[in-house]
Amino acid sequence: MSCFVDRFSGEARIKKPTAKTPPRQVLPPQILQFPEDMKILAGEKVEILCTFSGAPPINCTWLKFRKPIQEGTEDISIESCDTSSKLTISSGQQEHCGCYTIELRNSFGLRQAALNLTIVDKPDPPAKVPAASDIRRSSLTLSWYGPTYDGGSAVRAYHLEIWDSVEQQWNPLVSCNSTSYNVQRSYSG
């Protein structure tokens, strides 16, 4: 408080101090919470939440493979406020797999966090038609290429079937874990 006296009128006044503006925070963005790599089943909802602090305003940008994600597509939405940002994928599919990054920027700096999103689904069929080789009277070797998309995890087994031309149906032959199999003529048909 200050006291003032007007020298002409002799009037005394007390001046109250004005509220001081708090000093401006000089804080770059800090990431408080961000998930580790995620693995989900195809069709499930994906939510990636980042909470942060720092001097406002903080600009949030979500990237996939280092390219900005276009908000407003029917399956991806982004919600951001002063202290958090959430990317939501309504139904995770193969095309959503990849590296997702959030970039937080203010006048005092830049912070990034990233995770890999894997969508687990049925693998694609083998990349090419199986080829027969080493053909003999009682055996042959079938070989094929693995799928172009493995479903988000290693293929553990291939289930081979044989066509029964009499019954007009496929019947199980064998399960194997490699991309070739020596077929012996021990089956009926």
Q: For the segment 44-89, what is each residue's pLDDT rounded down to a tens digit?
A: 999 999 999 999 999 999 999 999 998 777 799 999 999 999 999 9
Rounded to the nearest integer, the mean pLDDT of the chain is 89
pTM over 0.75: no
Bridge partner list, 139: 184
Confidence of residue 20 (pLDDT cuts 50, 70, 90): low
Q: What pLDDT is attached to residue 13?
A: 74
Confidence of residue 120 (pLDDT cuts 50, 70, 90): very high
C-alpha atoms less than 13 angstroms from C-alpha of 37 in its C-beta half-sphere: 8
Q: What pLDDT is attached to residue 7?
A: 72
What domains are there in the chain, each with its CATH number? Answer: 30-120 (2.60.40.10), 131-184 (2.60.40.10)
Q: How far apart are CA 33 and CA 41, in angstroms?
A: 23
- 111 near 29, Cβ under 8 Å? yes
Cis bond upstream, residue 172 (ω within 30): no
Q: What pLDDT is attached to residue 23?
A: 63
- 85 near 60, Cβ under 8 Å? yes
Residue 107 has pLDDT above 50, yes or no: yes
Closest CA to 87 of 103, 108, 110: 103
Cis bond upstream, residue 23 (ω within 30): no
